[in-house]
Structure 1
Amino acid sequence: MSTVPTAKAQVRVHIRWMIRRDMPEVLAIEHASYEFPWCEEEFLRVLRQRNCIGMVAECGERVVGFMIYELHKSRLQVLNLAVAPEFRRMGVGRQMVAKLVGKLSSHRRTKILLQTRESNLSAQLYFRALDFRAVEVVREAYEDTGEDAYVLQYVLPDVLPTELVEGVPVNRIARQLEG
């Protein structure tokens, strides 16, 4: 008789701004998630920047995930995102990404960018399932290992590239489509 693994139950989380007292739980999740985790000083340095925002996902009274992102003129840039190991594959990360997608607008910020290690196949597959696509390789992006990174991008559906919106073809294929 074979046993079939059962899917974990999906949990609903409350996503809110990160506050100072969340830091111990955020650091615990960070250390459980990454081989080369950020330290508290790195979190604080990034969060002090005007365009950086920290959010946490709460289940009950417990922080079970977090994300740090930057606001730019035409995009959101995810700097860090992690879910507590015992809450993975339960929809927590998907809800956090959905929160970011909800901040996009066809008139302003139309895409989300993030960078992941070349060796982090689980993150690559996860974000691919959320409609992110690799758009660039950054050579030797990580100082700790010299490892390359993939830049992954999510583009708001129904948003045409600026060049096409303005009527200027981007390449010969676009020109043929217009002609």
Structure 2
Amino acid sequence: MKQQNRIRILPLAPLLVPGAAAVERACFSLPWSEAGFLSELQKEGACCFAALSSSGEVVGWAGLESVCGEGSVTNIAVLPEFRRRGTGEALTRALLAAARELALDRLLLEVRASNAPAIALYEKLGFSPLGVRPGFYEAPREDALMMQRTF
């Protein structure tokens, strides 16, 4: 359990899934469903974390999937009112720790090309640009910047 600015980072458990799904709905135009979260939690090689406020509310979540020594970030989402306060960084650091624990060679992610704050955070944490996926995101349509962190 990690504490950052009164935010606790915990493994995402089924009890926390409704809160994580609410974060998805607040952050994304095509959010994951509760069923999608529950399915993800059952996958071998999947690892998910929740960020909880001091009141116990789920204010963010992050996940990764791994196969054959390579990991891919499935999502990092933080409620708007908890952004720029260390929540996203704490979640990303939890993913990095999980990647090391899983002995991954590298961790990949996609980020909207216009999301300068997230790109800056990922670069701060050792991710580097790898390429562009044209039109990767929908609603609105946008390119994704692919980034990687090697271990």
Common fold by TM > 0.5: yes
Task: Determine the C-alpha separation between the residues in 1 that align with 2:33 and 2:73.
Answer: 17
- 1:148 and 2:119 correspond: no
Partner of 1:11: 5
How far off is 1:145 after superposition? Answer: 5.2
- Single out whichever of 39-48 and 131-140 deviates more from structure 2: 39-48
Partner-residue secondary structure (3-state), 2:142: coil
CA distance in 2, matches of 1:146, 1:29: 21
Q: Percent identity?
A: 31
Is 2:25 aligned against 1:31?
yes
Q: 1:63 aligns with which of 54, 58, 69?
A: 58
1:166 equivalent in structure 2? none
SS, match of residue 141 in structure 1: strand
- Where in structure 2 are there 5+ consecutive unaligned residues? none
Does 1 or 2 have the higher relative contact order (CA < 8 Å, sep 6+)? 2
Counterparts in 2 of 1:102 and 1:49: CA distance versus 1, 3 Å = closer
Residues 113 and 145, structure 2, Cα contact 8 Å, conserved in 1: yes
Task: Render the CA deviation track for 1:123-174: whole Å, top value 9, x for unaligned.
Answer: 2233223221110222332365553322111223xxxxxxxxxxxxxxxxxx
Q: Secondary structure at the match of 2:76?
A: strand
Q: Could you tell me which of 29, 32, 45 is aligned with 1:51?
A: 45
Q: What residue is the counterpart of 1:5 in the other structure?
A: none
Q: TM-score, normalised by structure 1?
A: 0.69
The alignment covers a number of residue pairs equal to 147
Question: Is the counterpart of residue 113 in structure 1 residue 108 in structure 2?
Answer: yes
| Structure 2 residue 136 is the aligned partner of structure 1 residue 131 | no
Aligned residues: CA RMSD: 2.5
Task: Provide the C-alpha distance between the structure 2 equivalents of 1:64 and 1:106, rounded to a whole number of angstroms.
Answer: 25
Which of residues 87, 97, 102 in structure 1 aligns to 2:92? 97
In structure 1, runs of 5+ residues without a counterpart are 1-9, 157-179
CA contact (8 A) 1:136 1:151 kept: yes
- Contact kept? 1:73, 1:108, Cα under 8 Å: no
Q: Distance in 1 between matches of 2:52 and 2:63?
A: 15
One-letter code aligned to 1:134: P
TM-score by length of structure 2 reads: 0.79
Q: Which has the larger radius of gyration?
A: 1
